[in-house]
Structure 1
């Protein structure tokens, strides 16, 4: 996964309305329930035996190994409150939009030494719902990191640099050397 994909996933996780189950047995019970009661499916998912899953569900084992604990938490996070997540994404794609905070190199086609020369900038910008919808659709379609980056760059170009089309008509923005990207919707 790339930095934009990870940022979208983290933003999606922050839409949860209830905390994740804390203990390993509770997490395992949640996974079994999400897999329609199939301990075998959870065992394949986590790379453990079916009997191990059953022992966690009955709370006979309470503390997993570090690698299993990480896999268990990752899978619970991925499946936690899917309807709440979808509602938040739908709201962002139709009404609210998405906020991007980034520190990256933004550059333009310009004469050397001009203010348009490529440089590191920290930008926090709300993008309209159309760009949020494009990001979510591309993510769902399995877009590459580069494709997601291009959609984000186009949104920042139109809203931040071109000021909704009121200036810099022929400007083309390059979004490179990303230090971090955080998104919120």
Structure 2
């Protein structure tokens, strides 16, 4: 993904109502169920052999290496509680909106006589549900990182810099050099 896609994935995890399974065997069983009972598909997903997956499932192997444990946890988190995630996204897209906290370089194209030099700013801003819906729709259709960045930039431009249309009507914001971005809904 990219920095915005990763931030959206992390925001999904805040909606979890239960923790992910703790043991390697329980995590393997969860992935096996998600893959329709195919140990081969689980093995491909984790980058291990099919026999390794079978060993975890049978209990002959209990403690994965750090690399396998990290991949196993990441894959389980991707699929954990899909309906809870969907409900949280729907809530954000229809009623709640989302909050974006970022430190990035913002530059401007504005009327003559104003400063348009780009500088790093730390901004925390709530965006209305319309921007959340656009962001989720773009991500679902496979939009690239630049398209996701453009949607967030437009939301920050309208809500933070233009104050929801009350000032700086001709301002166009450039959103670059993202140091970090944290999205929550």
RMSD: 1.7
Q: C-alpha displacement at 1:144, in angstroms?
A: 1.1
Q: Give yes or no for contact 1:102–1:182 (8 Å, CA) kept in 2.
A: yes
Residue 67 of structure 1: how far off its partner (Å): 1.9
State the Cα deviation string for residues 119-156 of structure 1 (Å, max 9, x = none): 11110000000000111111111111111111000000
| Contact 2:20-2:80 at 8 Å conserved across structures | yes
Please name the residue that 2:103 is paired with. Answer: 103
Q: What is aligned with 2:133?
A: 133
Q: Which residues of structure 2 form unaligned runs of 5+?
A: none
Partner of 1:49: 49
Alignment: residue pair count: 185
Residue 96 of structure 1: how far off its partner (Å): 0.5
Question: TM-score, length-normalised on structure 2?
Answer: 0.94
Output aligned runs, 1:1-185, within 5 Å.
1-110=1-110, 114-185=114-185
Listed as ranges, the gaps of 5+ residues in structure 1 are: none
Structure 2 distance, partners of 1:96, 1:165, is 20
TM-score w.r.t. structure 1 length? Answer: 0.94
Q: Distance in 2 between matches of 1:57 and 1:112?
A: 67
Determine if contact 2:157/2:173 at 8 Å carries over to the other structure: yes
Structure 1 position 47, deviation (Å): 2.4
Report if aligned partners of 2:16, 2:85 keep a CA contact under 8 Å in 1: yes
- 2:112, 2:60 → 1: CA distance? 67
Matched residues in 1 for 2:39 and 2:83: separation? 23
Relative to structure 1, is the Cα distance of residues 113 and 180 closer, same or farther in structure 2, using a 3 angstrom cutoff?
A: farther
Verify the 8 A CA contact 2:111 2:171 in the aligned structure 1: no
Question: Mean alpha-carbon deviation: is it higher for 102-111 or for 68-77?
Answer: 102-111
